[in-house]
Amino acid sequence: MSDLLHHTTMLDCKPVATPMASKQPCVADPDSPYKDVTEDRQIVGTLQYLTLTRPDLSYAVNSVCQYMHAPTNAHYQMVRRILRYVKGTLSLGVRILRASSLDLYAFSDADWAGYPTTRRSTTGFCTFLGSNCTSRKPVRCTGKVLKIKSKKSSLIR
């Protein structure tokens, strides 16, 4: 992680508490393309690899990957924010510990139409065996979602 920060000249940056701003729309702006597409793709690819041991980065990295075909300056600012978050959380990562129990736990969450242009949701889950995460997966919903008054959702195919 330090090598990535050094490569991007972000070793001395000011850390932030979250990898994404709470309301950070990244709309593709063809009038503001990023100057070095290859560099941007290398950084984002490295961040993707980093998500194997840093699941806290998954959602933010997945969001910037949506724009790798034509990155803009706004997209690169999102990448820089992720790097600032990494700077402040260098000691975090997945650890496998000896578990006293082998109970299986599962958790899920959704963002409810978090993509501003398509209004599609992202959902995800993770499973734990004891205290160790054994699997996790984010999923972008491809169907239409109907909100119900009880704040549940149903998938319409």
pLDDT tens for 96-130 read: 888 888 899 999 988 877 767 777 788 888 899 99
Domain shared by 118 and 66, yes or no = no
Q: How confident is the model at residue 52 (pLDDT cuts 50, 70, 90)?
A: confident
Amino acid residing at 149: K
Both 84 and 101 in one domain: the answer is no
Same domain, 13 and 82: yes
Q: Are residues 42 and 84 in the same domain?
A: yes
Q: What is the pTM of this model?
A: 0.72
Give the residue from 56, 72, 88 where a domain finishes: 88
pLDDT at 157 over 80: no
In a domain, 156, yes or no: no
CA distance 84 to 78: 10
Q: Which domain holds residue 122?
A: 96-143
Q: Considering its fold, how many domains does the chain have in total?
A: 2
Q: Do residues 25 and 70 both lie within one domain?
A: yes
Cβ atoms of 83 and 45 within 8 Å: the answer is no
Q: Answer yes or no: do 80 and 100 share one domain.
A: no
pLDDT given for residue 61 in this prediction: 94
For residue 7, which of 86, 96, 102, 123 has the smallest C-alpha distance? 86
Q: Are residues 42 and 68 in the same domain?
A: yes
Residue that terminates a domain, selected from 69, 88, 107: 88
Same domain, 76 and 105: no
